[in-house]
Amino acid sequence: MSNETPLMKQYREIKEENRDSILFFRLGDFYEMFFDDAVIASKELGITLTSRNKEKGQNVPLAGIPYHSSASYMAKLVRKGYKVAVCEQVEDPKTAKGIVKREVVKVITPGTVIDTDYLDDKSNNYLLCVYIKGDRAGIAYVDITTGEFKTTELEGDDIISKALNEVHKISPNEIIVEEKSYENYADKFKNYAAISELTMQKVSFVKNSEEILKDYFRVISLDSYGLQGKKEAVAAGAMALEYILELQKCNELPINKISYENSEEHMELNLTTQKNLELIHNQREKSNLGTLLWVLDSCKTSMGTRMLKSYIKNPLLKVEEIEKRQEDIGYFIDEVLIREEIREILKNIYDIERLIGKVIMGTENGRDLIALKKSIRGALEILKILGNRQLFDSDLEKLIEVYNLIEKSINEEPPFSVREGGMIKGGYNSELDDLHDISKSGKNYILDIETREREKTGIKNLKVKYNKVFGYFIEVTRANSALVPEEYIRKQTLTNAERYITPELKDYESKVLNAKEKIEALEYQIFKDISSEIKEENRVFQELAQNLAYLDVVTSLSDVAIKNNYVKPEVFEGFSMEIKGGRHPIVEKLVGPGEFVKNDILLDDDKSIIILTGPNMAGKSTYMKQLALIILMAQIGSYVPAEFAKIGIVDKIFTRVGASDDLVSGQSTFMVEMSEVANIVNNATEKSFVILDEVGRGTSTFDGISIASSITEYIHDKIGSKTVFATHYHELTELEGKLEKAENYRIEVKETENDVVFLREIVKGGADKSYGIEVARLAGLPREILNKSKATLKSLEAKRALIEKKMKGEQLSLFGGVIEAEEIPLEEEKRVLTLEEEKAIEIICDTDLNSLTPLDALVKLSELKKMLK
């Protein structure tokens, strides 16, 4: 590399230290990328790839982007999972000797983006560190745009799954893992990261983790953060902090405190349940359409939405805490005017959390301070409206102080840039005012020169003009050039005019330009001073942000409760659960007003399991999810879609949704199904609520029925969770007779001659048939197939009854219950089936009509026909 230019040498040395990042190398007004970085950047960003031939014999690929529009390019690369290292010129090129010194000033990863313009304002941008040791896990997560820094610890046999459940609740954008222990759980995490499109990085273990946290927060003990004895949480916290500090290269962060969240204070929702219940994201796409958030979020601020998301994922377990939220929601339900006024004001409140984050990191501009000022005004108005009912305390004095500071110093419409002046109000700083005077009088003086020179020279159309190249100059048309006095210095000749300068003009010009430069520098200085005064009060604002977010959440929940006709549920420490006139919060919105059929439930010490039968499409899944969602809503403190609800606190909700309802099919769905069921029976407690939807469907009918019934039995005998088990196998209704606390319910359908009508009403008793054929008809299967299936079903039922009758000379059913079989007509008894016929019957039996497409059905039918010829 002897031919290497000094610049390329510098580049190579810096790149060497940032090999895993795309290096944005600052050259004047551009960031340049070289070699592979350039190739990647041009591909990912759609920018031109050129090359630089200065390195003799070597063709250096090159791609560049202008400095002023770089942020969006960086954001794009980071979103695609790349790390971006930003290398700046760290000395003034004018004064630099030799090559300008350059340094990487920060490295950006998905979890450490600070440019909030490129983040979703309704979501936190968490970086999460997980540290698993034995059967314990420490989790720490940080949002550096808001300063939130939390930790938690988990413990238990299946610690990896538990950790993943928690990770999914937090929904980070980047995960860091400790490299040595990582191998033990790499598979599951890799899988999860891939599905969730997350970046994962390995970091090394931080030895003196406690010291690191203590040093950063300048405290002598971590006890006040609730971290005493929390080794794994402290370790994860220290790793997260070190990682961020390393990437941010000592830039100041808005992180002021770390806290410990006891995960046992919240309802446990495993990964599958979070997904099945479609709390935040729907299963099909990543949007929140048709989710619980979609129903509940009428927040006016992004701070509110972020808090609501976390509430939804973390339902409470303590009655008092739930009642506190209910009480606040109730207040705003009653006080219509206050609620509406507050919601109106909340609209004008900006993201205080992120504004203060910017102030701390020094990326704020004049507009951010104006947004902060408006938000303070809003907050003060709200406090006034709330009057005696103070939902929270605020340091009014400090708020007013900061408000006044911004009010008297910052222009109402400041420019986007902080380096160009125009931010600071007149009268705030006398030095600045003087400079403005000089600049103004200078300009006026220059304007006066025009009049004076016209008079002096008699050139009527003499003009004083300005351009970037010459600054101020005097322009005289060619026709008049003879009249130009001697002291004019000619600068430029145009076709029709001559341009001149005079010493006097240049004298005032430099005064004006000097003043301009000084104004820009001074304004920047004043602005930064104001910011740092505000920065001093950051805790006041972080607290205010939390309080306003809470206010936004409770007023939003009041609004939703009224609009959707919800009631306040009674929550209590106990087992039973009673809902009257319950509705599914999401489906009721989708089916249209008045269309949704309400249903009740009562589960108590005498009846803890419901076996719910009914044909496909009857509404079984909807009903069960409705129950789970009502419990969840009740425990986040919200009102619920029902006429009456009394709900004993539930510690965990489990859901298992049957194979044919699964989106990802193929592979071993039955295996997935069974491992999920294993997870339920291993972790559910008496206080849990379990919904099992078509469990056992992934395998053949009889296998399925046997497995389903033994699971139900186990839950009944050994666990005692409140459970609803939906199935279209009407055979399972026989469990009612066997299990003391199980009861049959079915979703009513009305059968006309050739039709079924879904009534969607839950009634006591089991369904006596599966209605598969009727539902198939509704789905549009050809009549020919349906008729044939009907005939086959008939003969099949006859055959089964016959076998049962013959077997022991008495009528035995699958579970020992007595079936009242119809008398079988004699000719059918006599008729012996051919082997082919038996085979055909078997095929029909094994066919899952619910997942059969019309095309498959046709194919199958023609197969059957061939067999029976």
- Binding-site ranges for Mg ion (CB under 5 A): 621
Q: Which of 597, 779, 843, 867 binds ligand ADP (CB under 6 A)?
A: 597
Inter-residue contact 853 to 805 (CB < 8 Å): no
Cα–Cα distances (Å) from 356 to 33, 352, 800, in that order, read 33, 6, 74
Q: Which of ligand ADP, Mg ion, none is residue 622 near (CB under 5 to 8 Å by kind)?
A: ligand ADP
Q: What is the dihedral of CA 490, 493, 498, 500, to 10 degrees?
A: -30
Q: Which of 146, 291, 542, 616 binds ligand ADP (CB under 6 A)?
A: 616
Tokens 């003087």 found at: 434
Question: Tokens for 145?
Answer: 């745009």
* Per-residue x/- track, 752-781, ligand ADP (CB under 6 A): --------x---------------------
Q: Which residues contact 744 (CB under 8 A, 6 or more apart)?
A: 610, 611, 613, 733, 736, 764, 765, 766
Q: Is 732 in the site for ligand ADP (CB under 6 A)?
A: no
Q: Which of ligand ADP, Mg ion, none is residue 275 near (CB under 5 to 8 Å by kind)?
A: none
Rank residues 241 and 762 by Cβ distance to ligand ADP and give the closer one. Answer: 762
Q: Which of 110, 619, 641, 648 binds ligand ADP (CB under 6 A)?
A: 619
Q: Minimum Å distance from CB 821 to ligand ADP?
A: 27
Closest residue by beta carbon to ligand ADP: 619
Flag whether 468 is marked binding: no
Rank residues 294 and 550 by Cβ distance to ligand ADP and give the closer one. Answer: 294
Q: Minimum Å distance from CB 616 to ligand ADP?
A: 4
Q: Minimum Å distance from CB 536 to ligand ADP?
A: 55
3-state SS, residue 486: coil
For 270-301, b/e burial (b = at least 16 CB within 10 A) is: bbbbbbbbbbbbbeeeeebebbbbbbbbbbbb
Q: Sheet of 489-493: strands edge to edge?
A: 463-467, 471-477, 497-501, 489-493
Rank residues 66 and 581 by Cβ distance to ligand ADP and give the closer one. Answer: 581
Rank residues 694 and 736 by Cβ distance to Mg ion and give the closer one. Answer: 694
Q: Which of 137, 159, 435, 618 binds ligand ADP (CB under 6 A)?
A: 618
Flag whether 614 is marked binding: yes
Q: Minimum Å distance from CB 792 to ligand ADP?
A: 23
Inter-residue contact 735 to 715 (CB < 8 Å): no
Q: Is 622 in the site for ligand ADP (CB under 6 A)?
A: yes
Q: Minimum Å distance from CB 707 to Mg ion?
A: 18
Looking at the DSSP bridge assignments, the partners of residue 609 are 723, 742
Question: Tokens for 361?
Answer: 């990191």
Q: Which of 112, 124, 291, 621 binds ligand ADP (CB under 6 A)?
A: 621
Q: Minimum Å distance from CB 371 to Mg ion?
A: 48
Q: Is 591 in the site for ligand ADP (CB under 6 A)?
A: yes
Cα 101 to its chain centre, rounded Å, is 40
Selection from 524, 494, 247, 513 nearest residue 364 by Cα: 524
3-state SS, residue 358: helix
Selection from 93, 122, 90, 87 nearest residue 108 by Cα: 87
Question: Tokens for 781?
Answer: 């299967």
3-state SS, residue 569: coil
Flag whether 593 is marked binding: no
Flag whether 618 is marked binding: yes
Q: Which of 74, 360, 587, 724 binds ligand ADP (CB under 6 A)?
A: 587
Q: Minimum Å distance from CB 621 to Mg ion?
A: 3
Rank residues 310 and 622 by Cβ distance to ligand ADP and give the closer one. Answer: 622
CA distance 322 to 640: 13
Flag whether 648 is marked binding: no
Inter-residue contact 857 to 779 (CB < 8 Å): no
Inter-residue contact 291 to 299 (CB < 8 Å): no
Q: Which of 189, 500, 550, 596 binds ligand ADP (CB under 6 A)?
A: 596
Q: Which of ligand ADP, Mg ion, none is residue 568 near (CB under 5 to 8 Å by kind)?
A: none
Under rule CB under 6 A, which residues in 461-500 are in contact with ligand ADP? none
Selection from 180, 130, 190 nearest residue 159 by Cα: 130
Q: Is 730 in the site for ligand ADP (CB under 6 A)?
A: no
Under rule CB under 6 A, which residues in 285-324 are in contact with ligand ADP? none
Flag whether 288 is marked binding: no
Q: Is 697 in the site for ligand ADP (CB under 6 A)?
A: no
Q: Minimum Å distance from CB 632 to Mg ion?
A: 19
Flag whether 620 is marked binding: yes
Rank residues 453 and 694 by Cβ distance to Mg ion and give the closer one. Answer: 694
Report the amino acid identity of residue 10: Q
Q: Which stretch binds ligand ADP (CB under 6 A): 19-27, 594-602, 802-810, 839-847?
A: 594-602
Flag whether 66 is marked binding: no
Inter-residue contact 643 to 580 (CB < 8 Å): yes
Cα 580 to its chain centre, rounded Å, is 33
Cα–Cα distances (Å) from 432 to 423, 426, 517, 527, in that order, read 11, 8, 11, 12
Taking the CA of residue 597 as centre, how many other CA atoms within 13 Å lie in the half-sphere pointing to its CB? 14
Cα 776 to its chain centre, rounded Å, is 39
Inter-residue contact 815 to 734 (CB < 8 Å): yes
Residues marked as binding?
614-621
Residues lying near ligand ADP in the complex (CB under 6 A): 587, 591, 595-597, 614, 616-622, 760
Residues marked as binding for ATP?
614-621
